[in-house]
Amino acid sequence: MLLKKSDITKALEILAADASVFVPGQVADVKRFMLWDGQEVELGGDNTTLPPKDILFPCTEKMYNYKLGKSIEIKEVVDNTKQVIFGIRPCDARSIFLMDKVFFEKGFVDSFYKRKRENTLLFAYGCDTVCRTCFCDSMGLDPNDAPNADVMMHDAGDALVMEAYTEAGKAALEKIGDLLSEGGTAEKTTACELKVNATDDLPEKLGKMFEHPIWDEVTRACLGCATCTYVCPTCYCFDIDSDNHGAEGTKYRCWDSCMFSDYSRMAGGHNPRPTKKERVRNRYMHKLSFFHDRYGEMLCVGCGRCVEKCPAHMDITTFIDKVAEVEI
């Protein structure tokens, strides 16, 4: 189906009638997903600086309200707002697929994430350009396709080719059906210039390199600022705290980072990751080995944000290539 670009605003108006619609835009000179309020949407160009994970996994999220007294009242904060993420790129759509595994599988379902996920539609947009730090196709992704999206969109000149991948996607396209026309094809030719030697045996190989000297070399430049974890679409470390006001309060969770020394410090003061070496090792091993051992997938989607934004120029792609050269 074809949607004229001149009708995108009309389509968003229809979708926004019963959902919060998020689109890529500029917020304080940072390209990120923002709540659509009628502005013209630019889907092309580079991917957003910040991923859209905060739409499903907010930076700060209220969990429970409570009251203390003769009896204790605890009330879960329930948010059933319907959401649409319009223009999400394949790497970020893939990151949501991986976050689903974290919050849904292995015996526990996170109710806060679950409600948001079940109420969220993904309108993915095939990349017409890639950044110099993009390497998603080396991680097994296709910058032109997002298999776990509800609707896949491609640029076709003065229109968007739209294809529903799920029943929810079909229902969404039916809502805007009066704006759609039959036909339309788009060539899927975008590829990343940056290539990484992420071989199939990488997770297993890294599992044998826990004490390898490579960690002393790769972590030397790290500043411990945690920028990499905050721009990463698949980092999900969080802390839980309380906001108390007398006998009432709120329990909330907020993003944290395994790159901070306090993150792994135990109540008695012991820290199993006392230096940046252990913390960087944990981050890389989690992305490329530990997560694969648990879920059968690597946690890096090749978006390149950590490579682009690291102030010390640490580069996970260089690390992957170095691992490929190591003989075990």
Model confidence over 85-135: pLDDT tens digits?
999 999 999 999 999 999 999 999 999 999 999 999 999 999 999 999 999
Q: Is the pLDDT score of 37 beyond 90?
A: yes
Nearest to 111 by CA among 75, 63, 152: 63
Sign of CA dihedral 313, 291, 34, 130: positive
Contact 33, 23 (CB under 8 A): yes
Q: What does the alpha-carbon distance between residue 66 and residue 175 come to, in Å, rounded to a whole number? A: 40
H/E stretch holding 30: strand 30-35
Q: Which residue is associated with the tokens 């605003």?
A: 9
Q: Is the pLDDT score of 68 beyond 80?
A: yes
Amino acid at 3: L
Q: What does the alpha-carbon distance between residue 160 and residue 169 come to, in Å, rounded to a whole number? A: 15
Nearest to 31 by CA among 99, 92, 84: 92
Tokens of 26: 């500029």
Q: Is the pLDDT score of 184 beyond 90?
A: no
How much is the average pLDDT of 201-230?
96
User: How high does pLDDT run on average in the chain?
Assistant: 96
H/E stretch holding 99: helix 90-104
Nearest to 3 by CA among 15, 19, 21, 18: 15
Query: End-to-end alpha-carbon separation of the chain, Å?
Result: 52
Determine the pLDDT at residue 185: 75
The 3-state DSSP class for residue 64 equals: strand
Q: Please state, in angstroms and as integers, the Cα–Cα distance from residue 231 to each residue in 176, 194, 234, 257, 314, following that order.
A: 33, 19, 9, 11, 14
Give the bridge partners for 64, in sequence order. 76, 251
Determine the pLDDT at residue 302: 98
Q: Is the pLDDT score of 188 beyond 90?
A: no
Q: What does the alpha-carbon distance between residue 166 and residue 175 come to, in Å, rounded to a whole number? A: 14
Contact 289, 203 (CB under 8 A): yes
Q: Is the pLDDT score of 56 beyond 90?
A: yes
Nearest to 62 by CA among 83, 41, 84, 78: 78
- CB 34: neighbour CB atoms within 10 A? 17
How much is the average pLDDT of 153-180?
96
Contact 94, 139 (CB under 8 A): no
Instruction: Give the alpha-carbon dihedral of 225, 60, 106, 284, to 10 degrees.
Output: -10
Q: Is the pLDDT score of 183 beyond 90?
A: no
Tokens of 240: 């839980």
Contact 249, 63 (CB under 8 A): no
Q: How many helices (H) and strands (E) does the chain have?
A: 11, 12
Nearest to 318 by CA among 211, 217, 233, 225: 217
Count, residues in the chain: 328
The residue extents of the domains of the chain are 2-181, 202-325
Q: Binning pLDDT at 50, 70 and 90, where does residue 159 land?
A: very high
Q: What is the pTM of this model?
A: 0.94
Nearest to 263 by CA among 276, 245, 249: 276
Contact 20, 3 (CB under 8 A): no
Phi, psi of 260 (to 5 degrees): -90, 140
Q: Is the pLDDT score of 186 beyond 80?
A: no
